[in-house]
Amino acid sequence: MALQWARVPAFRPKMLAIAHKINRANMARALKSRASWSRVLKKMNVPFDSPEADYDKMREFVESEQYSLSAEKEWYIQQGIESANMIAPSLQARHWQAYVSKKGSFIASDNPVVLEGGKKEMVGFANAGVIIYPLSRHVVLHER
């Protein structure tokens, strides 16, 4: 289910939003002080006299939020595979029900997994209130 969800374009903005949030947190931590920035530069083998090493300019750039992340298709595939390994235990812990339509009345979309949760909340497999996963037009898995 997690792999199926990760392979569709609807997954990409969510993964990029998560990466963006992590990146912002990492940059805030790195730029907390000149000493923390120096440690990051040293760890990354960036020369202290290089233009991108300037603490004030980097802090100003990050705080301006004038940049955004982007990723190639391969990155999304890699993230999807890695995420599926982390998601599997939470899916296994849920209580699933199968609904059957003898007439084949279930309809799926290009996003094969429905995750529902609170408004303005980033909903994922771990915190979704409802998960719906059509296996075919005859069988749907539902967890609530």
- Give residue-wise pLDDT tens across range 66-89: 888 898 888 888 888 888 888 888
Residue 138 has pLDDT above 80, yes or no: yes
pTM above 0.95, yes or no: no
Confidence band (pLDDT; 50, 70, 90) for 112? confident
Q: What is the rounded average pLDDT of the residues 41-69?
A: 90
Asked whether the beta carbons of 124 and 103 are under 8 A apart, the reply is no
Asked whether the beta carbons of 139 and 100 are under 8 A apart, the reply is yes
Residue 103 has pLDDT above 80, yes or no: yes
Residue 56 has pLDDT above 90, yes or no: yes
Res 97: pLDDT? 94
Res 139: pLDDT? 93
Confidence band (pLDDT; 50, 70, 90) for 31? very high
Q: Which residues, other chains included, contact 112 with Cβ-Cβ below 8 Å and sequence gap of 6+? A: 4, 5, 8, 133, 134
Q: For residues 75 and 78, give the distance between their C-alpha atoms in angstroms, rounded to a whole number.
A: 5
Residue 45 has pLDDT above 90, yes or no: yes
Q: Where along the chain do its domains lie?
A: 1-92, 94-144
Q: What is the rounded average pLDDT of the residues 24-43?
A: 94
The more confidently predicted of residues 120 and 105 is 105
DSSP state of 65: T
Q: What is the rounded average pLDDT of the residues 32-37?
A: 95
Mean of pLDDT over the chain: 87
